[in-house]
Structure 1
Amino acid sequence: MIKKTFLALGLMTILFPVVAFAAGPDGATLNMGLNSLWVMLAFILVLLMQGGFILLEAGSTRMKNAGHVAGKTIFTVGLAALIYWAIGYGIAFGGDSAIAKFIGWGDFFFNPATAADVAAGDNYPNGVFFLFQLAFAAISLSIAWGGFAERAKLASYIVFTIFFIGFIYPVVAHWIWGGGWLANDGAQDFAGSTVVHLTGAIAAFVATVLLKPRIGKFNKDGSANEILGHNQVYTALSVLLLWVGWFGFNAGSTVSIGDGFFTYVAFTTMLGAGAGGVAALLISWAVTGKADITAMLNGTLAGLVAITASCAFVDPWAAVVIGLVAGVLVFYSVKMFEKFKVDDPIYALSVHGMAGIWGTLANGIFATQALADKVGIGQGGLIDTGSWKQLWVQFESVVVCGAFVLVASFIVLGVMKMIMGFRVTEEQEIIGLDLSEHGAYGYPEQLKKPGQGIHG
């Protein structure tokens, strides 16, 4: 019976193809559906990068703070979702207004359409675009937490999330991605070397300056002590998780299946990451005589950060060069910040800040006219066109966005420091944030009660 049924259906498909597929989707609907699936998958990949940040920060810091790192990351991502829905998205991508060059205004308390309007030319439902952009905002926030690590009160995370996701990050996103004045100038930042990474790194820099170094980081003579993270395997796993998520980050920013251009973006992303890791390992080996694993892991992330702006604009050979430079840059950048007595536990300033600046500027050097035309933003860089224009626009975007985030973060965190204080007490820092802020230990089996042996 089943065989006869399948045979009859097969014959009907051959004899009456129009009838068989009359109820099927047309080309536009199918394309919209595929785009929607792709952007949703990209959102999931980027959201899962938060797992990478949990492992990165926990592995790079001491075990007495591990539970705090994990908990505050999940909590602040949830809070960020609410703030971005209520305010942030409207400022980043709000409708046209008299001040649209500088700030979006509209779509507050965002209410997405239940489905895309194919007749109106929608490529995907606006709800999935919101989710994708929310994931980017949350990544930038998690980068900022690098400057808070091991010494900030939990309450400070709550307050800063509101201001960062509600205003600071959305303004930068609007300028470059939301039709703002830098977008009109042709600023090229395909997936966020400046919008996401530099913005988060500048906020981290302000936090670590205002919080001051962790206890025991620097000696009276200015020399630095190495405060080792408690689990290098966690750190390595974090890099792998982030690396995988980056394909949603970069390739997902095409927001379409189209002609498969997203695969080219993924290709250059892979090359940049590989080159960053190789360069950092080799330079550390050459300078110190040891192949430093931490340097290699930072180099891989730096390569990813640097290629993020240019992944859709450069040839493969240029992606390798961008990654190689990022790997060397991050190695020396870490040493520079330490020399300036800036305590950066997860190297956010070097990996996301310096590499973010380099990646954005690299477009002005290596972007090709053909790819700029394909993406529809700006023009080719210095090597391809002989023109300095794109390099100037890239420099402009780095300076202006960096200055805005620097000033805005200093105002917010400075006021927080005066009103509420946002560093824990010396006793709390020594005990660890797990116990002092949450009353529980991330590794409870390591916490012995008085009179107990190692097995309890």
Structure 2
Amino acid sequence: AKANLPMAALGTFMLWLGWFGFIGGHALLSSGGVSVVIVNTLLAGAAGVLAIIPIRLFANSGAVEADYLLKGVVAGLVAIAASAHAVHPQAAIIIGWIGAWIMLAGEWALLRLGVDDAVGIVPVHLGAGIWGTLAVAFLGDPQMLGTGLNFVLQFGAQIIGILAIGGWTFLTTIIFVGLMDLVIPLRVTLAEEQFGLNIVEQDAEPDYSGYPGLEDLLATYRQELILQKISRDPLAASSTPPAPASPFAPIPET
């Protein structure tokens, strides 16, 4: 998102708009029920944004990053997906708010564990998604839900659903990704990873304006990749000598 915030914001609002049809159409409700779904979806996304602001203000010395606001919207939308047809607007706000907080906690946990999730897919969709599924039991209106289950049975049903979907997704992903890896290796070399896949595989370089010396430095790394003829062997990649840093101007602090 930070690479192109205007496009990321446009995509987020398009996703928000599409969520109305996605949730309302999936529920197959009457016109009156669809209006409730749309209102709850709108409120949950907005609550996700509002939930981000105080946390990031405190954690980032009074500044709120725009990409976190966009993630808050998506986390709120994901969280309300399971219960938009079965909760009151007040509950939708709570669900979206907590979903955004869970997203932030998930990002913090992944950073602590050293897991690379550049766009926050796991915290947004797994973390907020699990919370939203459980929220059906906690905040769902029994009459609107229409399952006839009490809290304990409904909570158990939500747990079973989470385990079933998670197990199926994990197993099928492992099988298909494993087969793909046999045909086309999915793991890049260490040198290619450090250099940047956008340059090595797509020949797409970022804008270096305002960073004197950085373009020359990366050009040197590119030349070393060509000379070394980096293969898919991690051992060969690790033998690539480092580029001299002294001829290049330091990157200014931002």
> TM-score of the superposition, structure 1-length normalised?
0.42
The CA distance in 2 between the partners of 1:441 and 1:292, in whole Å, is: 25
The CA distance in 1 between the partners of 2:40 and 2:140, in whole Å, is: 12
> Residue 308 of structure 1 aligns to which amino acid in structure 2?
A
> Residue 404 of structure 1 aligns to which amino acid in structure 2?
W
The residue that corresponds to 1:406 in the other structure is: 170
Residues 96-245 of structure 1 aligned to structure 2 (within 5 Å): 229-245=2-18
How many angstroms does 1:357 deviate by? 0.4
| Contact 1:367–1:379 (Cα < 8 Å) also in 2 | no
Matched residue SS, 1:319: helix
What is the CA deviation profile of residues 338-395 of structure 1, one whole-angstrom value per residue up to 9, with x for unaligned ones? 111110011000011100000011001111122123xxxx246xxxx5x311111001
Distance 1:254 1:407, change over 3 A: closer
The residue that corresponds to 1:280 in the other structure is: 52
How many angstroms does 1:410 deviate by? 2.3
The CA distance in 1 between the partners of 2:207 and 2:114, in whole Å, is: 33
The CA distance in 1 between the partners of 2:81 and 2:112, in whole Å, is: 28
> Residue 409 of structure 1 aligns to which amino acid in structure 2?
T
Instruction: Show structure 1 runs of 5+ residues with no match.
Output: 1-59, 61-228, 451-456
The residue that corresponds to 1:292 in the other structure is: 65
How many angstroms does 1:263 deviate by? 1.2
Distance 1:445 1:332, change over 3 A: closer
Matched residue SS, 2:176: helix
How many pairs were matched up? 211
How many angstroms does 1:307 deviate by? 0.2
What is the CA deviation profile of residues 51-98 of structure 1, one whole-angstrom value per residue up to 9, with x for unaligned ones? xxxxxxxxx3xxxxxxxxxxxxxxxxxxxxxxxxxxxxxxxxxxxxxx
2:39 is aligned, of 267, 270, 275, to: 267
The residue that corresponds to 2:95 in the other structure is: 322
> Residue 159 of structure 2 aligns to which amino acid in structure 1?
F
The residue that corresponds to 2:247 in the other structure is: none
> TM-score of the superposition, structure 2-length normalised?
0.73
The CA distance in 2 between the partners of 1:272 and 1:244, in whole Å, is: 13
The CA distance in 1 between the partners of 2:27 and 2:179, in whole Å, is: 39
How many angstroms does 1:278 deviate by? 0.5
| Contact 1:306–1:356 (Cα < 8 Å) also in 2 | yes
Matched residue SS, 1:312: coil
| Contact 1:306–1:323 (Cα < 8 Å) also in 2 | yes
The residue that corresponds to 2:24 in the other structure is: 251
> Residue 279 of structure 1 aligns to which amino acid in structure 2?
A
The CA distance in 2 between the partners of 1:324 and 1:369, in whole Å, is: 22
How many angstroms does 1:426 deviate by? 4.3
The CA distance in 2 between the partners of 1:443 and 1:275, in whole Å, is: 34
Larger radius of gyration: 1
> Residue 8 of structure 2 aligns to which amino acid in structure 1?
T
1:358 to 2:122 alignment:
no
| Contact 1:273–1:304 (Cα < 8 Å) also in 2 | yes
| Contact 1:280–1:330 (Cα < 8 Å) also in 2 | no
The CA distance in 2 between the partners of 1:431 and 1:343, in whole Å, is: 16
Q: How well do the aligned residues superpose, as a CA RMSD in angstroms?
A: 2.8
Matched residue SS, 1:260: helix
| Contact 1:326–1:358 (Cα < 8 Å) also in 2 | yes
How many angstroms does 1:312 deviate by? 0.3
Matched residue SS, 1:302: helix
The residue that corresponds to 1:367 in the other structure is: 140
How many angstroms does 1:403 deviate by? 2.1
Instruction: Show structure 2 runs of 5+ residues with no match.
Output: 210-214, 220-254
The CA distance in 2 between the partners of 1:335 and 1:444, in whole Å, is: 29
How many angstroms does 1:398 deviate by? 0.5
1:307 to 2:80 alignment:
yes
Distance 1:393 1:435, change over 3 A: same
Percent identity, aligned pairs only?
29
The CA distance in 2 between the partners of 1:286 and 1:351, in whole Å, is: 21
The residue that corresponds to 1:89 in the other structure is: none
| Contact 1:333–1:350 (Cα < 8 Å) also in 2 | yes
